[in-house]
Amino acid sequence: MWLGDALHNHTDLEFLDLHHTKVGDDDAISLAEGLKNNDNLRRLAMHNNRITDVGAAALAEALKTNKALTLLSLSSNGIGDVGAAALAEALRENHVLRRLDLYFNLVGDEGGVALAEALTVNSALRVLHIDNNRVGDPTALALAKALKVNRGVSELTLLYNKVRNEGALALVDAVRTSTSVHSLALGHNPHVIGEATEALDALKAEHLVPRKELVQFLMHHNLTDDEGGKVFDPARPDEALEEYGHHGPALHSPYAAVVQALQPHTEEGLQQLHEQLKEDPHHLHTHEATAGLSEVQRHTLAEVIKKKIKEEL
């Protein structure tokens, strides 16, 4: 029980990395007890271990009351439908977790559909990774249905699964109209072929690439409404990844529509703004695209753009 006790005694601990340490269900149960009343730990990495449905269910129970954890990595374990369904039940009550990694597990459509249905009521989760599992069209269709009402998910990956054209096309349709998703990965599903592949390619070129470029600009210049801090990827500890805060995904930032209109994240847009600012230094404060921003926000954006012009042009 020392793991659970450690969470009680180390009140300043924010990141606990236990990946590839041979921890199993007993350890997960102990940690779950510690998580129930821990208000500090934000990131828990437990990938590449021996956790099964039993341990996942215990952690899920803790998530129902935990109000601090933003990242839970359970990839490369032995979690199946029962564990995934337990985590899905927790997501219906948890409004803090921002990223859940479940790739390289044993989740089938029973667990996948449960996770998808949880997203119809959970708008807090930003990233869901369920690559290299056993999910197919039932999960893809349920996720597509969830994305029609969910306004939180930004990144969804289902690589190396059993998705077919029907599920892939449904996801394409849902992501195309989503206001939050900027990353969808469906590669290496061998039965996604023909029109579905073409639709995915078109979605990437017409929607996902521009959205991702916009998100990267917003995050790089701290133009999101994030309060949650950077979500840490245990596999890439030296990289600063997406920021997902308590208010909403990056595409819901008050600056998002303005940046999209002004295009300072593109070479052409930045050059045009440079020419306009030379003629009128107050151009950004009077531009119709910035009308919805407060005076402070307009000033912040103007300073960001001027700095970028100075650095790049």
158 and 296, same structural domain? Answer: no
Q: Which domain holds residue 142?
A: 2-234
308 and 192, same structural domain? Answer: no
295 and 225, same structural domain? Answer: no
Cα gap 198→178, rounded to integer Å:
19
113 and 156, same structural domain? Answer: yes
In a domain, 109, yes or no: yes
Q: What is the pLDDT along the chain (313 residues), one digit of tens a residue?
A: 566 677 766 667 899 999 999 999 999 999 999 998 888 999 999 999 999 999 999 999 999 999 999 999 999 999 999 999 999 999 999 999 999 999 999 999 999 999 999 999 999 999 999 999 999 999 999 999 999 999 999 999 999 999 999 999 999 999 999 999 999 999 999 999 999 999 999 999 999 999 999 999 999 999 986 433 343 344 443 333 344 444 578 999 999 999 999 999 999 999 999 999 999 999 999 999 999 999 999 999 999 999 999 999 8
Stated pTM of the model: 0.91
Cα gap 225→246, rounded to integer Å:
8
172 and 44, same structural domain? Answer: yes
Domain count, the chain: 2
Helix (H, G, I), strand (E, B) or coil at 23: coil
pLDDT of res. 13:
85
77 and 117, same structural domain? Answer: yes
Give me the amino acid identity at 77.
Answer: N
- CB-CB contact of 82 with 53 (8 Å): yes
202 and 288, same structural domain? Answer: no
In a domain, 245, yes or no: no
Helix (H, G, I), strand (E, B) or coil at 146: helix
In a domain, 6, yes or no: yes
Say which residues have a Cβ less than 8 Å from residue 196's Cβ, sequence separation at least 6. 164, 165, 168, 169, 172
Pinpoint the alpha helices (H) of the chain. 2-9, 25-35, 53-63, 81-91, 109-118, 137-147, 165-177, 195-203, 209-220, 256-262, 267-279, 283-286, 295-312
Helix (H, G, I), strand (E, B) or coil at 28: helix
pLDDT of res. 63:
97
pLDDT of res. 225:
64
121 and 19, same structural domain? Answer: yes
Cα gap 162→33, rounded to integer Å:
35
99 and 199, same structural domain? Answer: yes
The overall longest dimension of the chain from CA atoms, in Å, is: 68
286 and 213, same structural domain? Answer: no
215 and 84, same structural domain? Answer: yes
290 and 164, same structural domain? Answer: no
